[in-house]
């Protein structure tokens, strides 16, 4: 084991070695390209339940319109909290009691219900509903769905029930709070017996789930993966906890739609959101043989750790840099191939600035032909379902050649200048003479980072 002096030396050396990392990281992965014989992975289905819409078309049109769907939290318990805004699911769009029986709802958390609804849309779009009797299809279809946080109020209410008597505790309490239950319930519902995987890496969960599913297919563990993330933890306790971390916006309680403002100089914290977005990923030849629709392609996947702080990213942006570099290398592309970065940017003063710095450092002179935006201004921060929801918008951007805007972005501070931010209104993705390729960043508490390289499908 290393002593404290050795540990300090390693940290100092790591901080000084950033130029070396940037020079060498491509060398360690550059052979892993599409030309190396790896199985190509395409997106054949998409589904969504979100504050901006509860089907793909509705959500995409809301994003392009530059509308914010953040609203005021109503109730006496919220009135006592510093933050009183959130982005919630419109009950006019989704009524869980109409989607599930009372018995079913007893067995699942709200986040699980969101995941099942989004998965139904994704599977329908993919035209992938193999019969349980089709052993091969079911065994070659897997699930990878994550959750960032369980329902804290369910835990509190069950604890209060226990005080009244043991029999007051629901036999479904434990299944409701297990993070792997969205994956488990989906697998059971459709009979999928491939990899059954759950990810819980805070706000990087959704992106990690897609990336892991991508690799399961690449390595031959499955031909089809249903993947993404789900989150439903907006409650007085959840809001209070994040407020105590000083992570949430508190300056716009009387103007909710202005509260989530990534990259803007008046940003003061993120806004919690809820929902789910689900992808159907498929091995290319498998998709072509059955004539499946192809929305886009997952080209690469990069992961890294900050090894720095519980909640704050490294000041030099190394964690973000490493994830982006590794995604590029894994996809066999360079910074010159990237036209758009969908940033993690949650609307926090520190995090947004560090991510902007990392993007500038990585792209250098190529920032002149790069567009950057964060859709969290419209739908808030869905925590464990953020990376997958935003990846869905990246797929749509690559497919349609339209760049989603950052809502409420009016002025950036000097430390974030030098990038072309798509502000308030969508823009055409210029340069159609080449394939549209983008990066999607997701970073989580504990210093966990993910980056997906997503491209327009090309034969």
Greater model confidence, 216 or 32? 216
The stretch 279-304 carries a mean pLDDT of 98
Residue from 281, 145, 150, 172 nearest 218 by CA: 281
CA-CA distance, 144 to 121, in Å (whole number)?
Answer: 16
Residue from 229, 198, 213 nearest 141 by CA: 213
pLDDT higher than threshold 80 for residue 15: no
Catalytic one of 203, 233, 398, 453: 203
Query: What is the DSSP annotation of 285-346?
Result: HHHHHTT----EEEEEEEEEE--S-SSSPPTT-HHHHHHHHHHHHHHT--GGG--EEE----
Q: Torsions phi, psi of 168, nearest 5?
A: -80, -15
Per DSSP, helices labelled H in 140-247 are 152-164, 173-177, 181-190, 205-218, 236-244
DSSP, res 266? T
Residue from 305, 352, 365, 335 nearest 439 by CA: 335
CA-CA distance, 231 to 272, in Å (whole number)?
Answer: 10
pLDDT of residue 34: 46
Do the beta carbons of residue 49 and residue 112 sit within 8 Å?
no
CA-CA distance, 238 to 81, in Å (whole number)?
Answer: 11
User: CA 123 from chain center: how many Å?
Assistant: 19
pLDDT of residue 33: 42
For the ranges 2-16, 43-57, 381-395, which has the lowest average pLDDT?
2-16
pLDDT higher than threshold 60 for residue 252: yes
pLDDT higher than threshold 70 for residue 390: yes
**What percentage of the chain reaches a pLDDT higher than 90?**
85
Q: Which residues pair with 403 in a beta bridge?
A: 427
User: What domains can you pick out in the chain, each with its CATH number?
Assistant: 41-455 (3.40.47.10)
In whole angstroms, how far apart are CA 277 and each of 56, 79, 180? 9, 30, 16
CA-CA distance, 181 to 25, in Å (whole number)?
Answer: 36
Can you read off the two tokens belonging to residue 376?
């969290």
pLDDT of residue 245: 94
For the ranges 96-100, 432-436, 451-455, which has the lowest average pLDDT?
432-436
Hey, is 132 helix, strand or coil? coil
Active-site annotation holds for 451? no
Can you read off the two tokens belonging to residue 156?
């509190």
Express each pLDDT in 296-334 by its tens digit.
Answer: 999 999 999 987 888 777 788 899 999 999 999 999 999
Can you read off the two tokens belonging to residue 240?
């209070």
Hey, is 216 helix, strand or coil? helix
pLDDT higher than threshold 60 for residue 364: yes
pLDDT of residue 70: 98
Express each pLDDT in 111-147 by its tens digit.
Answer: 999 999 999 999 999 999 999 889 999 999 999 999 9
pLDDT higher than threshold 90 for residue 387: yes
pLDDT higher than threshold 60 for residue 102: yes
Sign of CA dihedral 379, 383, 385, 388: positive
Sign of CA dihedral 174, 180, 185, 188: negative
Do the beta carbons of residue 49 and residue 117 sit within 8 Å?
yes
pLDDT of residue 36: 56
pLDDT higher than threshold 50 for residue 4: no
The stretch 29-35 carries a mean pLDDT of 42
Confidence tier at 397 by pLDDT (50, 70, 90): very high
Residues whose CB falls within 8 Å of the CB of residue 353, separated by 6 or more in sequence, listed in order:
413, 415, 416
Q: Torsions phi, psi of 252, nearest 5?
A: -125, 35
pLDDT of residue 430: 86
For residues 49, 55, 60, 66, the Cα torsion angle rounded to the nearest 10 degrees is -60
Summary mean pLDDT of the chain: 91
Q: Torsions phi, psi of 74, nearest 5?
A: -110, 135
């Amino acid at each position: 084991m290393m002593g404290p002096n050795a540990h300090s030396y390693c940290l100092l050396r790591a901080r000084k070695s950033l130029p070396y990392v940037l020079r060498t990281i491509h060398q360690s992965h550059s052979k892993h390209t599409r030309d190396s014989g790896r199985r190509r992975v395409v997106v054949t289905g998409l589904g969504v339940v979100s504050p901006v819409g509860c089907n793909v078309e509705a959500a995409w049109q809301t994003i392009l319109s530059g509308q914010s769907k953040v609203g005021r939290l109503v109730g006496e318990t919220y009135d006592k909290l510093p933050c009183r805004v959130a982005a919630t699911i419109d009950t006019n769009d989704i009524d869980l009691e109409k989607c599930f029986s009372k018995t079913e709802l007893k067995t699942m958390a709200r986040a699980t219900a969101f995941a099942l609804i989004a998965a139904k849309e994704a599977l329908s779009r993919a035209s992938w509903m193999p019969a349980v009797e089709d052993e091969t299809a079911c065994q070659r279809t897997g699930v990878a769905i994550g959750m960032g946080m369980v329902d804290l109020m369910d835990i509190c209410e069950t604890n209060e029930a226990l005080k009244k008597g043991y029999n007051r505790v629901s036999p479904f309490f434990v299944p409701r709070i297990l993070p792997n239950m969205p994956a488990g319930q989906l697998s059971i519902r459709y009979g999928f017996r491939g990899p059954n995987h759950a990810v819980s890496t805070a706000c990087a969960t959704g992106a990690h789930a897609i990336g892991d599913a991508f690799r399961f297919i690449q390595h031959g563990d499955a031909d089809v993966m249903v993947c993404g993330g789900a989150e439903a933890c907006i409650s007085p306790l959840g809001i209070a906890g994040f407020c105590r971390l000083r992570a949430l916006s508190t300056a716009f309680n009387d103007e909710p739609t202005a509260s989530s403002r990534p990259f803007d100089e008046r940003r003061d914290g993120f806004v919690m959101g809820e929902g789910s977005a689900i992808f159907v990923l498929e091995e290319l030849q498998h998709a072509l043989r059955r004539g499946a629709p192809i929305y886009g392609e997952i080209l690469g996947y990069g992961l890294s750790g900050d090894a720095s702080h519980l909640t704050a990213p490294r000041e030099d942006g190394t964690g973000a840099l490493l994830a982006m570099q590794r995604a590029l290398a894994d996809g066999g592309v360079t910074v010159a191939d990237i036209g758009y970065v969908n940033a993690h940017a949650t609307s926090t003063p520190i995090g947004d600035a560090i991510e902007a710095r990392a993007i500038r450092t990585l792209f250098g002179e190529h920032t002149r032909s790069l567009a950057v935006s964060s859709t969290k201004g419209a739908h808030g921060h869905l925590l464990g379902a953020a990376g997958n929801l935003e990846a869905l918008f990246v797929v749509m951007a690559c497919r349609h050649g339209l760049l989603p805007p950052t809502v409420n972005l009016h002025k950036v501070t000097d430390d974030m200048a030098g990038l072309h931010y798509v502000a308030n209104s969508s823009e055409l993705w210029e340069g159609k003479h080449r394939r549209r390729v983008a990066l999607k960043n997701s970073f989580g508490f504990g210093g966990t980072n993910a980056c997906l390289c997503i491209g327009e499908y090309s034969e």
